[in-house]
Every structure is written in C-alpha cells, then in structure tokens.
Amino acid sequence: MGDAAARPPVGAAFVTGGVEIVTVRPEDGTLRLDRWFRRHYPRLSHGRLEKLLRTGQVRVDGKKARAGDPVSPGQTVRVPPLPDLPPAEPPAAAAQMRPQDAAMLRDAVIHRDDWAIVLNKPAGLAVQGGTGMTRHIDALLDALRFDFRERPRLVHRLDKDTSGVLLIARTAAAAAFFTRAFRDKTARKIYWAIVSGLPQPPQGRIDLALAKKPGAGRERVRADEEGRSAVTWYRVVDHAGTKASWLALLPVTGRTHQLRAHCAALGTPILGDGKYGGNAAQLPGGAAAHRLHLHARSLALPHPAGGTLRAVAPLPTHMKRVWEFFGFAAEAADPFADLDIE
C-alpha cells in the first residue's frame, strides 16, 4: 500500500537533482522497458541504456531492472540525468496524421467492440517504429480512437512483411487483460503460409531454440541450443505435388521470426522469404515470390466481458493470387481443432 500511495499521478514526471521519476502513462500500455525508452528517449542508444541498467541508475518502482522487463501504466521509471540528449518528444498528434493513412487503418478494421479492435494488417506496414521509420501502426493509433478518450494501444506484434490479425486494446484494463492472455498462452493464433516444397512428415511439432544473430544489418535469428525455446505445430493443408505446400502454423511461443526460421529448418522456406530461404524460397518461374507469403489467419482468446474473442482475416491480394494459381480452396477448417496444446 505504501509504495502505491507514494507513486505520482500516471503520466507525471518528478525531477530532483536532474533525476526524473517518470510514471508510465496509460497510452503506453504494457511494453518492454527498452521499448519504453526507445519511444520516449529515442536518441538514447541501447548500449548506453544497458550500462545504465547494469549500474542501477535506471530503476523501475525503485528496483533494479533489465531491458526486457515489462513495465505497465502506473509504474515509475527512474531516469538519470541525460544532459546530452534532447527532451522526450510527445507522441505524434492525430492532426499530424495523413488523412489517407487514417483511412487505410480504419479500412483494415475487421472487429470492434468496447474492449478490442482487430485489424487485418497490410503486408509491408510495420507495427512499431525503428531507426528512420515514422510511418507505422503505433504512430497511427489515434485514428482508431473512434468515440473513446483513451488512445488505443498495441497488445502484440507482427513482422512488417507479415499480414493478418493484429489485436489492439481500447483501454488500459483491456491491454492488461489481453497481455496476460498472451503471456499465459491462452491466446491461439493460426498462420497460413505457402512454402517451397513439401514438408516431411506432412505434420508435426518443431522444437528448435532460436537466438538473435549478432552483427550489422537487419534483424535475424538462427538455431542455437542455448537460445530461447521456440515451438511451432505445423500441418500441410494442401499441396501442389512437391513444388509448393499450403501450411497451417500454430506457434506455441512467440519468438522473433520464429515461423520463418522454423519453416526454413524443415527445408521448406516460406515463399518470398529471401532472408531465411534464399533462392530456395522461390518457385519455378518465380510466381509472385517477391513478397513474403505469411499471413496471421485467425486469433482466438478470452474476452474481458466473457466468452471468446474470435477473428479471421482474409488473405491479402498477393497471397490470393497464389491460392488461385495452385487451385487451393479459399477456406479451411481449423486443422488444429483436435490438438491439445500444453
């Protein structure tokens, strides 16, 4: 009780001796500490942040923290003096949003209620910003306020080049509820993909730990026994001989590039995934293989008001063309309906 009573109002920043005690705001939702710093102190390098964390100069609720620790609205972050950095900039205002971007995001809504908004995220649109990236869903969330005063917030992520179901929470309470569902693995996500070749066996469980690959360039992971556990169930729904297969994928864990790395490890990389499949991620003739063919097809998870929230996202145009090219059916029953995920 004493700690909670001592906290400043949410969103406030107390300054003493150059040290800021900043309260995480409702619009930030729950996110990793390093991502919170990236949002509010974009010129603070990750390496410098790690040093500040190691030396205890950055603390959460008065305790030492790590870069990957989650922070939630109402918690306090101790920020030491950063004299050579500019002050944090406020989030992009709705007035600065291009009308066409706001319209695009609203057109992508496939479900909306008082707790949640579900998007069918377009391929090629990033969920969060990075170096030099200003156009992404996180910066456009004001377009999804509708009649709510609170700014919506992200609950999970999809890769920039992956299309499909993306859940947005409309309130801080909803964000906390949905975040717990993902953490406790009561959220069930199914992806559809076209892969080059035919996996053998045609269904199974991939248990292959992954670690981020060091070095310059774009983010990438690799198989590593000492990496983080990564588990994916897969089943072939249909196939065109041994040239290509329609795979349903059910990730148990949510590692960076997990499905792409796991499909490549099967020897059947996802069509268009040059990063993990190289030339093997192409089809004879190169049919539409210039874009990643990975789609978050459906999501089911508990709803804060009771029952289950279910959402299904139609395929994007570039994947529809491949389905038509191979004569695959446009719909399919849940291939994992009878699978009991521990």
Catalytic residues, by residue number, are 159
Distances (CA, A) of 200 to 115, 197, 248, 281: 42, 10, 14, 17
Instruction: Specify the amino acid at residue 309.
Output: L
- For residue 78, give both structure tokens: 């101790």
- For 3, the 3-state DSSP assignment is helix
Give 91's DSSP letter. P
Token pair of 157, please?
A: 């992520």
Task: Note whether 258 and 249 are within 8 A (CB).
Answer: no
**112: which strand partners?**
117
* 246 phi, psi to nearest 5 deg: -95, 115
Question: How many CB atoms sit inside 10 A of residue 201's CB?
Answer: 9
- Cβ atoms of 194 and 322 within 8 Å: the answer is yes
Q: Break the chain down into helix, strand, coil percent, rounded to 5.
A: 25, 25, 50
